[in-house]
Each structure stands twice: as structure tokens, then as C-alpha cells.
């Protein structure tokens, strides 16, 4: 019986999970695939540390070239992360005729075009289900199950660290810094959490999904990215009073040949499906013209969930290899000749409702001044909250606008912040009232 031989680049948490899965589920993998999956080589800088799994003598190596150049390996699984040496090793594996499975969303978001062009040239496949949503099968859903749809939008909660922090802030009233320390202690957040809490990890994933859904190349530097580190408990409480929850939302839309690509804290109605996704869970919501809205939810990271996604890609490639098929499905879901360069809409041109919070001196006429400036920029007020007066003290004024152009909002806030009665820089949070 023919076997599918794989080599791993990286033997950290996810690599260990892949080894555990291959060993524990060897029988069911063989029953479903029709052949065995063999681990041939594993490369890592540390081949001494005990990972709690048994390996054949000689399987471990510190030389990654032994994996990407091994004559018997069919599929190279890249689990190093980051840009280099992952990029160089993936390209070398492709040049050597190896199929590639990767969980590296940062690599694909920044160097994806180079890698995909190399894969097309050498007639091999690059699969990356594990790069977005961990165990959630969103990539295969877009490329296979729902590929007959014209997608209107893709939204999601793509980072478990941020979602855990926001859940604890919302439910328990803990401030950001306290919950972040707790998340680090529990292993939900890295020692340096910047990529997570500043939205960069989420933006990497959104760039990939936009490419898949809308058939366009995405310049990652143009994806608007804003994290949660500046969120205040005050805003979370006001959101609750108004029937909203705040989530770090990834938003991709296509309309009129333009793409919205943005990641930022977003108020969504608390009865909306994504508002119910709490803790470390992730969720993705697609809207297609025929299928309508589809929401997928599950573990977005972690050893087992990510290993599951990696092995799904390995087995998909294995079926192709057994049938002598190469590049059955386009890597990015569209035939390369059909992929476009659609422009990304400027944030100034985004239109929607906004939450605005001002810290003002409690004096007569303050609201009239604020409302006058907003009105001069074509911004109308939908609702307002003003706590009880505290004579002589700074008090919050919270407004929710009707749909407005963001460029107008920013100009108005610049004028308002220059007023003598404003005590601190105003706060803005975008609202998504309907994600369908």
C-alpha cells in the first residue's frame, strides 16, 4: 500500500499536537484516506526537550534542509511561524516539488503572492486551513462547500486572546491590564501580546479571508488595524446600557468593486450571534448571495484544534496524491488569471453609525455646541446618554449617531476636542447594526 510521507518544520506546541494526532488516530486516518500517513523527519532547533511523544531514532534533526529536500517526503508541514526562515524554507520545499501545509497566517498575509506564484509554477499545492480559525473549517467552506456563492461579506472574531479579555471586562468589570496578566498566566496570551491585543493577528487572518472570498490580492499594509488596549470599562458599560457588546471584529465587505478591510473594536447588538461568542472561542460569519448568512464557531487556536486542521489539509493532499492529481483546487479559491487588484476603501469613506463619548465641563450650552458641530458635518444624533449633573466637574456625554461618513466624524471630533469645555480627547467606537 502506498504511504503519504510528511515532514515537519517546527516541533513546538502545534508540531507536538500533529505528532500526537498522527500516532493516536493512525487507524482512522488509514481507514478514511486509504493509506498510511508516515512521519519521516521533524526539524527543530531544540531536539532534546521532552514533548511527551515517542519518535523513531533519527527522526529529529536541527537541519531544516533535511525536511525540505528529503526525496521521500510528499508534504512539508510548516509550523515555525513568523516570516523568516519560514518563507525561505517554504519556497525551497515548493521548488523541490513538495506540497506545503502551513498554519502561518503572518507569512501568507505578507508573502502570500510570492509563495502562491511559486506553487503555481511548480505545480504543487499550498493549503492553510489552520492559519485562520484553528479548528474552524472556514477555508475549505469558502473554497469548496460554498464556492458557488458570490460572497457579500465576511466578519469574524479571530483572536481568542482578545475575545477572552473583552469577555472578562464585560462580565466581571475587570480592567484591561488586570485581565491581560490573567490571560498570560493561563497561557491564553503571549509574554509579548502585541500581535494579539493590537489586532495584527486578526488582520493577518482577515487579509487571507478577503482574498478567498472576493478574489483579490490584498496589500496587508492597507488593512485598517486597531486593537483593544485603549478600551475603557466606561465604554463597555455604556455599550451594555444601550444593548451592545464590544468585540474585536474583523470586517471584510465587497461593494461596487471596492473592498472594506478593517479590524477594530466594534459595538454589535447583544442579541446578535457573534455577540454570544465569548471566552477564547472564535467565530466566522459569511454572507453569500444564495446560501445567505452562515456562522461557524469553535476553538480558534491551541494544540489539538490546530493539529486537527493541519491533518485535514494533509489528508486532502493525500487523496490528490493517491489519484495522481495536482492543484485540483486553486490555492486562493479563484483561478490565478481571475484574481484582481480591487481597491481598498479609505476609512474616511466608511459609512455607519458611531458611538461617541465626550468628557465635558458641566456647563449650560455644552450639548448645543457639540450638536451644532456635528450637524455642520452632516452628522445627526440618534440617541444620547448623560449621567446626573455634577456641578463644576467633568462629566461624560455619550452620543450614538445615525449613519455618517467617518471622514466627517473625524473632522467634527477635531473641532469638538478644541473646545474649551472638553476635558479629554473624545472616544469613538464604530457600530455594526446589521452584519447580513
The Cα 423–Cα 412 span in angstroms is: 16
pLDDT > 70? residue 321: yes
**pLDDT of res. 421:** 86
Helix (H) / strand (E) element for 381: namely strand 381-385
pLDDT > 70? residue 209: yes
**pLDDT of res. 393:** 65
CATH number of 348-431: 3.30.70.260
The Cα 248–Cα 195 span in angstroms is: 13
What average pLDDT does range 71-79 have in this prediction? 96
From the list 41, 92, 98, 205, the catalytic residue is 205
Q: Which residue has the higher pLDDT, 329 or 123?
A: 123
Looking at the chain, the whole-number percentage of residues with pLDDT higher than 70 is 97
Longest dimension (CA), the chain: 85
**pLDDT of res. 388:** 63
**pLDDT of res. 239:** 94
Cα–Cα distances in angstroms (integers) from residue 342 to residues 13, 216, 217, 361, in the given order: 37, 6, 7, 46
**pLDDT of res. 390:** 58
- Pairing label, strands 258-269, 427-431: parallel
Q: 429 is written with which cell numbers?
A: 467606537
Q: How confident is the model at residue 253 (pLDDT cuts 50, 70, 90)?
A: very high
Q: How confident is the model at residue 226 (pLDDT cuts 50, 70, 90)?
A: very high
Start-end of CATH 3.40.50.720 domains in the chain: 3-134+303-338
**pLDDT of res. 389:** 59
Residue of 88, 94, 85, 147 lying closest to 120 (CA atoms): 94
pLDDT > 60? residue 1: no
Give the residues across from 285 on adjacent strands: 155, 295
The predicted-structure confidence for 379-426, as pLDDT tens digits, reads as follows: 999 998 877 655 556 788 999 999 999 999 999 999 999 998 888 899
**pLDDT of res. 189:** 78
**pLDDT of res. 436:** 67
Active-site residue flag, 205: yes
Q: Helices 26-33 and 13-24 meet at what angle, rounded to 10?
A: 70
State the number of CA atoms in the 13 A half-sphere of 213 facing the CB. Answer: 26
Give the residues across from 258 on adjacent strands: 255
The predicted-structure confidence for 287-300, as pLDDT tens digits, reads as follows: 999 999 999 998 87
The predicted-structure confidence for 153-177, as pLDDT tens digits, reads as follows: 999 999 989 999 999 999 999 899 9
In the CATH hierarchy, which fold is given to the domain comprising 141-299?
Dihydrodipicolinate Reductase; domain 2 (3.30.360)
Cell 508573502: give the residue.
Answer: 111
Angle at 69 between CA 67 and CA 72, to 5 degrees: 80
pLDDT > 70? residue 235: yes
Burial of 120 (0-12, 13-18, 19+ CB in 10 A): middle
**pLDDT of res. 187:** 75
Q: How far apart are the first and last CA of the chain?
A: 49
**pLDDT of res. 391:** 57
CATH class in words for 3-134+303-338: alpha beta
What average pLDDT does range 15-38 have in this prediction? 94
Give the residues across from 299 on adjacent strands: 281
pLDDT > 60? residue 184: yes
**pLDDT of res. 330:** 78
**pLDDT of res. 192:** 86
Q: Which of 91-95, 336-340, 380-384 has the lowest mean pLDDT?
A: 336-340
Start-end of CATH 3.30.70.260 domains in the chain: 348-431
Q: How confident is the model at residue 42 (pLDDT cuts 50, 70, 90)?
A: very high
Helices (H) and strands (E) in the chain, counts: 14, 18
Q: Which of 150-164, 207-221, 314-328 has the lowest mean pLDDT?
A: 314-328
CB 43 within 8 A of CB 8: yes
**Mean pLDDT of the residues in the chain:** 91
pLDDT > 90? residue 146: yes
Start-end of CATH 3.30.360.10 domains in the chain: 141-299
The Cα 211–Cα 199 span in angstroms is: 18
Cell 473641532: give the residue.
Answer: 415
Q: 339 is written with which cell numbers?
A: 484574481
Please give the distance of CA 310 from its chain centroid, rounded to a whole number: 17
* Residue 222 CB partners (closer than 8 Å, separation 6+): 261, 344
CB 370 within 8 A of CB 397: yes
DSSP state of 347: G
Contacts 24+ apart (CB under 8 A), 292-298: 292/436, 293/435, 293/436, 294/141, 294/146, 296/133, 296/136, 296/137, 296/138, 296/141, 297/136, 298/133, 298/134, 298/135, 298/136
Amino acid at each position: 500500500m502506498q504511504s503519504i510521507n510528511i515532514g515537519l518544520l517546527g516541533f513546538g506546541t502545534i508540531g507536538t499536537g500533529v505528532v500526537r494526532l498522527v500516532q493516536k488516530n493512525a487507524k482512522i486516518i488509514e481507514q478514511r484516506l486509504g493509506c498510511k500517513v508516515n512521519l519521516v523527519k521533524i526539524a527543530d532547533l531544540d531536539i532534546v526537550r521532552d514533548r511527551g511523544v515517542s519518535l523513531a531514532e533519527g527522526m529529529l534533526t536541527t537541519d531544516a534542509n533535511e525536511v525540505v529536500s528529503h526525496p521521500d517526503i510528499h508534504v512539508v508541514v510548516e509550523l515555525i511561524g513568523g516570516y523568516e526562515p519560514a518563507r525561505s524554507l517554504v519556497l525551497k520545499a515548493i521548488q523541490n516539488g513538495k506540497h506545503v501545509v502551513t498554519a502561518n497566517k503572518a507569512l501568507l498575509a505578507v508573502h502570500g503572492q510570492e509563495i502562491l506564484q511559486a506553487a503555481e509554477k511548480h505545480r504543487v499545492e499550498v493549503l492553510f486551513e489552520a492559519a485562520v480559525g484553528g479548528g474552524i473549517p472556514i477555508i475549505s467552506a469558502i473554497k469548496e462547500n460554498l464556492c458557488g456563492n458570490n460572497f457579500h461579506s465576511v466578519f469574524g472574531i479571530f483572536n481568542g486572546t482578545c475575545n477572552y479579555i473583552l469577555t472578562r471586562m464585560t462580565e466581571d468589570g475587570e480592567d484591561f491590564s488586570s485581565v491581560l496578566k490573567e490571560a498570560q498566566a493561563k497561557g491564553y496570551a503571549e509574554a509579548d501580546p502585541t500581535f494579539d491585543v493590537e489586532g495584527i493577528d486578526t488582520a493577518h487572518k482577515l487579509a487571507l479571508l478577503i482574498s478567498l472570498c472576493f478574489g483579490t490580492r490584498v496589500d496587508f499594509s492597507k488593512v485598517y488595524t486597531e486593537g483593544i488596549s485603549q478600551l475603557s470599562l466606561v465604554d463597555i458599560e455604556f455599550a451594555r446600557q444601550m444593548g451592545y457588546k464590544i468585540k474585536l471584529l474583523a470586517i471584510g465587505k465587497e461593494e461596487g468593486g471596492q473592498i472594506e478591510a478593517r479590524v477594530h473594536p466594534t459595538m454589535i447588538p447583544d442579541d446578535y450571534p457573534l455577540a454570544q461568542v465569548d471566552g477564547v472561542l472564535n467565530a466566522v460569519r459569511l454572507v453569500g448571495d444564495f446560501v445567505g448568512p452562515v456562522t461557524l464557531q469553535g476553538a480558534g487556536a491551541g494544540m489539538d484544534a490546530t493539529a486537527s486542521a493541519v491533518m485535514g489539509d494533509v489528508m486532502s493532499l493525500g487523496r490528490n496524491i493517491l489519484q495522481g492529481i495536482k492543484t485540483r483546487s486553486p490555492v486562493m479559491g479563484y483561478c490565478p488569471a481571475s484574481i484582481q487588484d480591487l481597491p481598498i476603501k479609505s476609512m474616511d469613506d466608511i459609512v455607519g453609525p458611531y458611538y461617541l463619548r465626550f468628557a465635558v465641563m458641566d456647563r449650560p450650552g455644552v450639548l448645543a455646541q457639540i450638536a451644532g458641530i456635528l450637524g455642520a458635518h452632516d452628522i445627526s444624533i440618534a440617541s444620547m446618554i448623560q449621567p446626573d449633573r455634577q456641578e463644576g466637574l467633568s462629566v461624560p456625554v455619550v452620543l450614538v449617531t445615525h449613519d455618517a461618513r467617518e471622514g466627517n466624524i473625524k473632522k467634527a471630533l477635531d473641532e469638538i476636542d478644541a473646545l474649551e469645555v472638553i476635558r479629554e480627547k473624545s472616544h469613538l467606537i464604530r457600530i455594526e447594526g446589521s452584519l447580513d
